[in-house]
Amino acid sequence: MLLPETFDLLVLGLGSTGLAVARWGAAHLGERVRSVTVYGGAASAPSAETDALGAAGVRFVFGTELVEGDYDVCVASPGISEFSAFFARGREHALAIMGEPEFAWRLSPEHWIAVTGTNGKTTTTSLVNHILNESGCSSVAVGNIGLAPIAAVDDRAPGSWFAAELSSYQLATTSMLHPRVAVLMNITPDHLAWHGTLDAYAAAKRKIFANQEPGDLAVVCVEDAGARAALSAARSTGAAVCELSHDDSGAASAAFCDEGVLVVRLNGVEHRLVPTAELRIRGAHNELNALAAAAAALWVGASDEDVRAALVSFTALEHRIEPVAQIDGVRYINDSKATNTDAVEKALTAFPDEPVVLLLGGSDKGTPLEEFVEDVVHSTVRAVVCFGDARQRFLDAFVEAAGRHDIDVAEAEDLADAVDVARSLAERGDVVLLSPACASFDEFSGFEERGRAFKELVAALGRDAESA
């Protein structure tokens, strides 16, 4: 049984995910759900939202992780590590524990396409959703992309698809989730504080394939070493495996570029799609994102013609190599979503012929920098501006390399200062790229706030240039 006919529901965490599950539970009290209890955690406190849900019958316990009582189902928010004491207490007091995507899937298991990876999953998920909707197949983008699947379950149209972006946090707590198409873009070190080790992080990512079966499709980027290591897990289920790479792997199912054209081959049948030059999203990584999304959509029934039209109409997402402005011949690009070094390296492939002034910094993740620095100094980057809490470590890493290469290295206190410094360094024909390789929590609530702040700062530069 996916879920009991009726059940007592325990929710751990008061973030957006926990509240979404609580809202669903409140809507079904007296029907499927006998009771809803939410443990907010040690630092939790009441809010207008919890007061409203409390009035609707939800019980809240604030300021503690000491769970009491007996429950049928526990749903843990993704910020709560499966290795934490809080998670363990939830498991002790419930017959089953899971994350929110697993819970939503058990309530509505049909027609899921799931996408994961250290980088690229949001763009790929958005592309899948865009292609399906443009092809006449109703689809909703859910998961780590913003809308919790549980919030879309009740209003889901028959036969519609969920294009689900799933993080390692979300996948770690799955056991039954079964996507008809599962996509793995890459695996590079990230979120190790939550998972404990890189092996545990990679194992969580591989769980996206665990419940697939013959008739399903697994898309694996064999260009990435971490993803390539998951091929055996993908093949073990009997699902068809589409090998994703810029070069044709020769597999019966593969997605690749052929003389500048996106090509998807599924069970030996080739679909020639569109020239890479016609895509409105830039960079070698976005070519892979487009190929993965096209393979997923074609597998579930989208036509070649509809896929082609959707690929060329898709535009850049906010904070992902997002064009902001051109001022005095200098282009400003917002890539605030690039919160790790691998994402920065991928972003730089979008500018193979343009000199780049690169803004790096923020809240330091402690990622090793030696290989990253070498890759940057051998790219089109001609200047680096290091800012925020991480600036000293990045400065130290780049200063030595700058002595061996023709690259300027500058320091800035915060993002506003970094934009000013970049403005002074940039020359006509340059690109000023915010691709920080760090989290944003030294100054901002998240990468979204950081990206919007960058756009506001650039807009101010534009106004100053016009008035000069």
CATH architecture observed for domain 7-102: 3-Layer(aba) Sandwich (3.40)
Query: pLDDT tens across 8-35, in order?
Result: 999 999 999 999 999 999 999 999 999 9
Q: How many residues make up the chain in this entry?
A: 468
Phi, psi of 77 (to 5 degrees): -65, 150
Residue of higher predicted confidence among 121 and 290:
290
d(CA 274, CA 263): 8
Phi, psi of 64 (to 5 degrees): -155, 155
CATH code assigned to 108-313: 3.40.1190.10
pLDDT tier at 144 (50, 70, 90 boundaries)?
confident
CB atoms within 10 A of CB 363: 17
- Averaged pLDDT of the chain: 94
Which is the CATH superfamily of the domain at 322-467? Mur ligase, C-terminal domain (3.90.190.20)
Query: pLDDT tens across 221-280, in order?
Result: 999 999 999 999 999 999 999 999 999 999 999 999 999 999 999 999 999 999 999 999
Burial class (CB in 10 A: 0-12, 13-18, 19+), 145: buried
> What per-residue confidence (pLDDT) applies to 190?
60
d(CA 321, CA 282): 8
Using alpha carbons only, what angle is made at residue 95 by residues 93 and 99, rounded to the nearest 5 degrees?
A: 90
In angstroms, the Cα distances linking 51 to 11, 19, 46, 206 are 16, 12, 7, 39
d(CA 111, CA 431): 42
> What per-residue confidence (pLDDT) applies to 238?
97
Question: Do 102 and 194 contact (CB within 8 A), yes or no?
Answer: no
* Furthest-apart CA atoms within the chain: distance in Å: 70
> What per-residue confidence (pLDDT) applies to 200?
84
How are beta strands 322-327 and 330-334 bridged, if at all? Answer: antiparallel
Query: pLDDT tens across 290-307, in order?
Result: 999 999 999 999 999 999
Residue that has been written with the tokens 């591989």 in this structure: 206
Task: Compute the Cα dihedral for 283, 284, 289, 290 and give only its sign.
Answer: positive
Spatial neighbors of 397 by CB under 8 A, at least 6 apart, are 369, 370, 372, 373
Question: Do 72 and 9 contact (CB within 8 A), yes or no?
Answer: yes
d(CA 130, CA 161): 12
Most confident of 84-88, 171-175, 193-197: 84-88
- Mean pLDDT calculated for residue range 396-424: 90
> What per-residue confidence (pLDDT) applies to 416?
97
Of 60, 70, 58, nearest to 96 (Cα)? 70
pLDDT tier at 465 (50, 70, 90 boundaries)?
confident
d(CA 245, CA 233): 18
Domain with CATH 3.90.190.20 in the chain: 322-467
Question: Do 326 and 332 contact (CB within 8 A), yes or no?
Answer: yes
Domain with CATH 3.40.1190.10 in the chain: 108-313
> What per-residue confidence (pLDDT) applies to 231?
96
Query: Is the predicted pLDDT of residue 3 greater than 90, yes or no?
Result: yes
Long-range contacts formed by 299-302: CB under 8 A, 24+ apart = 299/180, 299/181, 299/217, 299/240, 299/242, 299/266, 300/111, 300/113, 300/132, 300/137, 300/161, 300/180, 300/181, 301/135, 301/137, 302/131, 302/132, 302/135, 302/137
Domain with CATH 3.40.50.720 in the chain: 7-102
Spatial neighbors of 367 by CB under 8 A, at least 6 apart, are 189, 340, 341, 437
Range of lowest pLDDT (194-208, 321-335, 353-367, 449-463): 194-208
